[in-house]
């Protein structure tokens, strides 16, 4: 995989460089609530601009249905990128149309532009190779070189991620190079004990990675909504908690495999429960009840791991040489159910091992809860991409960057 440093050494002054970034940031209206992904691509964009390239940044945001939708405009992300770079960033109001062509044509050496949301064009996400290829051809007309730096999208076989690199000389940006180096530490160069903390809502989203980790991890800690399917698989009643009935058999099989292979699979011993889901807008007091994990009342739902589980998980993380954490332990967006996620994050901060926060909601939680990002070994920008890499899958966007 060619690196951006190699590209820079060959000279990029005066050349149009298409940077596939991941600017898929959370928005409250037009206000960005977490700019982590924008900040992550700045080193690549700045290096290219400083070297005299004419930088064309592109990304998706949200899931528009293949047509323009103002709710998913990249305009706020373009403005924020300009603020971080400390320079004017031009914005094209379409992706490959008249505005994009004119905006790119007007760039001088060292200037930066952002084109509108790639997913406003149906060709970006099409499963039809010809339709995707046609859109990639239009994107290729905007540039001379391609730099892939949108790690959060490399597990997608999309036009700008998979097809476009085949049409232009290409290289990996600093972010992708860093993300891949970290993931190799979790697979090829593993230091033990290796402890994995998995949370989030659906156990079905994590089954494939658990399958792989049962042969690699020393301990797996289970939290979030997915924990209640594990508790049900152990024969506990989980009340009104989130439950995937169709996954119970698979979970039981993994529990048995963990016992046979000596992997310590740890589930909550208590939980914070309530009769209804908390109001995440007003953050009104929820008054949760703490109950044992095997005694959740029929009318109650588990919404966070309890205080004993927090202590247990902190102890299981204390001696880890390597930690991978993906998925919150509870409804961290509400202060009454944030303590479980906070406890795991704090345990990583205190760890002397190499700690990786696996993107997605985990990364958002770290920032929302006020942790210093530099206290972690690495905070990934791509939760889904990280998980698929650990599952052993070939990621289209990385494969496309290989020479």
Instruction: Write out pLDDT tens, residues 179-215.
Output: 999 999 999 889 999 999 999 998 998 999 999 999 8
Q: Is the pLDDT of residue 2 over 90?
A: yes
pLDDT tens digit string along 128-174? Answer: 999 999 999 999 999 999 999 999 999 999 999 999 999 999 999 99
360 is in an annotated binding site: yes
pTM of the predicted model as reported, rounded to 2 decimal places: 0.90
- 222 closest CA partner among 359, 327, 333, 354: 327
386 is in an annotated binding site: no
Report the alpha-carbon distance of residue 219 to residue 63 in Å, rounded.
35
Task: Please check whether residues 116 and 222 belong to one and the same domain.
Answer: no
Mean pLDDT along residues 339-360: 95
Residue 54 lies in a domain: yes
The boundaries of the domain holding residue 345 are 191-391
Mean pLDDT along residues 323-330: 96
Task: Please check whether residues 114 and 17 belong to one and the same domain.
Answer: yes
Task: Please check whether residues 210 and 317 belong to one and the same domain.
Answer: yes
Q: Where are the beta strands (DSSP E) in 106-242?
A: 112-114, 145-148, 170-172, 194-198, 219-222
Residue 399 lies in a domain: no
Q: Is the pLDDT of residue 345 over 80?
A: yes
What's the confidence (pLDDT) of residue 361?
85
22 is in an annotated binding site: yes
CATH number at residue 279: 3.40.50.1260
Mean pLDDT along residues 364-387: 92
Q: Is the pLDDT of residue 403 over 80?
A: no
Confidence of residue 364 (pLDDT cuts 50, 70, 90): confident
11 is in an annotated binding site: no
Residue 400 lies in a domain: no
Last residue of a domain, one of 128, 145, 180: 180
Mode of pairing for the β-strands spanning 16-20 and 54-58? parallel
What's the confidence (pLDDT) of residue 320?
97
Task: Please check whether residues 91 and 239 belong to one and the same domain.
Answer: no
Report the alpha-carbon distance of residue 351 to residue 356 in Å, rounded.
11
- Cβ burial, residue 139 (10 Å; 0-12/13-18/19+): buried
Residue 95 lies in a domain: yes
Q: Are 172 and 148 in contact (CB under 8 A)?
A: yes
Residue 333 lies in a domain: yes
Task: Please check whether residues 148 and 196 belong to one and the same domain.
Answer: no
pLDDT tens digit string along 73-101? Answer: 999 999 999 999 999 999 999 999 999 99
60 is in an annotated binding site: yes
Q: How many beta carbons lie within 10 A of that of residue 102, not counting itself?
A: 12
Which residues, in sequence order, are CB contacts of 47 under 8 Å at separation 6+? 4, 8, 174
- Average pLDDT of every residue of the chain: 96
Residue 112 β-bridge partners: 55, 89
In the structure encoding, which two tokens stand for residue 335, read together?
Answer: 């202060």
Task: Please check whether residues 171 and 283 belong to one and the same domain.
Answer: no
Residue 396 lies in a domain: no
Task: Please check whether residues 21 and 135 belong to one and the same domain.
Answer: yes
Q: Are 115 and 137 in contact (CB under 8 A)?
A: no
Q: Is the pLDDT of residue 120 over 80?
A: yes
Catalytic residues: 37, 202, 360, 384
Last residue of a domain, one of 131, 156, 180: 180
Task: Please check whether residues 220 and 332 belong to one and the same domain.
Answer: yes
156 is in an annotated binding site: yes
Last residue of a domain, one of 152, 180, 208: 180
Task: Please check whether residues 131 and 235 belong to one and the same domain.
Answer: no
215 is in an annotated binding site: no
Q: What percent of the chain is modeled with pLDDT above 90? A: 93
Report the alpha-carbon distance of residue 227 to residue 272 in Å, rounded.
13
Residue 147 lies in a domain: yes
Task: Please check whether residues 207 and 313 belong to one and the same domain.
Answer: yes
Task: Please check whether residues 349 and 207 belong to one and the same domain.
Answer: yes
pLDDT tens digit string along 244-254? Answer: 999 999 999 99
**Unique residue bearing structure tokens 């596939």:** 20
Q: Total structural domains in the chain?
A: 2
Task: Please check whether residues 134 and 272 belong to one and the same domain.
Answer: no
Residue 196 lies in a domain: yes
**Unique residue bearing structure tokens 């309890």:** 306
90 is in an annotated binding site: no
What's the confidence (pLDDT) of residue 336?
96
What's the confidence (pLDDT) of residue 98?
98
């Amino acid at each position: 995989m060619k690196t951006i440093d190699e590209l820079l050494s060959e000279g990029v002054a005066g050349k149009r460089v298409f940077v596939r970034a991941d600017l898929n940031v959370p928005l409250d209206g037009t206000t960005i609530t977490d700019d982590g992904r924008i900040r992550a691509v700045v080193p690549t964009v700045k290096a290219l601009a400083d070297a005299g390239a004419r930088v064309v940044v592109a990304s998706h945001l949200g899931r528009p249905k293949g047509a323009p939708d103002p709710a998913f405009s990249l305009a706020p992300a373009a403005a924020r990128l300009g603020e971080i770079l400390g320079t004017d960033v031009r914005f094209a109001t379409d992706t490959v149309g008249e505005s994009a062509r004119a905006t790119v044509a007007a760039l001088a050496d060292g200037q930066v532009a952002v084109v509108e949301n790639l997913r406003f064009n149906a060709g970006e996400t099409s499963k039809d190779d010809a339709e995707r290829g046609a859109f990639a051809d239009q994107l290729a007309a905007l540039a001379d070189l391609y730099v892939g730096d949108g790690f959060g999208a490399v597990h997608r076989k999309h036009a700008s991620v998979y097809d476009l690199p085949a049409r232009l000389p290409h290289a990996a940006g600093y972010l992708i190079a860093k993300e891949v180096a970290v993931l190799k530490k979790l697979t090829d160069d593993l230091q033990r004990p290796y402890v994995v903390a998995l949370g989030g809502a659906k156990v079905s989203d994590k089954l494939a990675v658990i399958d792989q980790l049962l042969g690699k991890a020393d301990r797996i800690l289970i939290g979030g909504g997915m924990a209640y399917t594990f508790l049900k698989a152990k024969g506990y009643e989980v009340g009104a908690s989130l439950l995937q009935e169709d996954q119970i058999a698979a979970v039981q099989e993994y529990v048995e495999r963990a016992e046979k292979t000596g992997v310590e699979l740890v589930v909550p011993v208590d939980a914070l429960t309530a009769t209804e889901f908390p109001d995440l807008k007003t953050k009104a007091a929820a008054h949760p009840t703490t109950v044992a994990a095997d005694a959740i009342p029929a009318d109650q739902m588990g919404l966070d791991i309890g205080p004993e589980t927090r202590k247990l998980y902190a102890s299981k993380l204390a001696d880890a040489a390597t930690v991978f954490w993906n998925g919150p332990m509870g409804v961290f967006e509400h202060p009454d159910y944030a303590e479980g996620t906070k406890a795991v994050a704090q345990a990583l901060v205190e760890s002397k091992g190499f700690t990786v926060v696996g993107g997605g909601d985990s990364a958002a939680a770290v920032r929302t809860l006020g942790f210093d990002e530099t206290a972690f070994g690495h905070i990934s920008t791509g939760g889904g991409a990280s998980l698929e890499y650990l599952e052993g899958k070939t990621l289209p966007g990385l494969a496309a960057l290989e020479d």
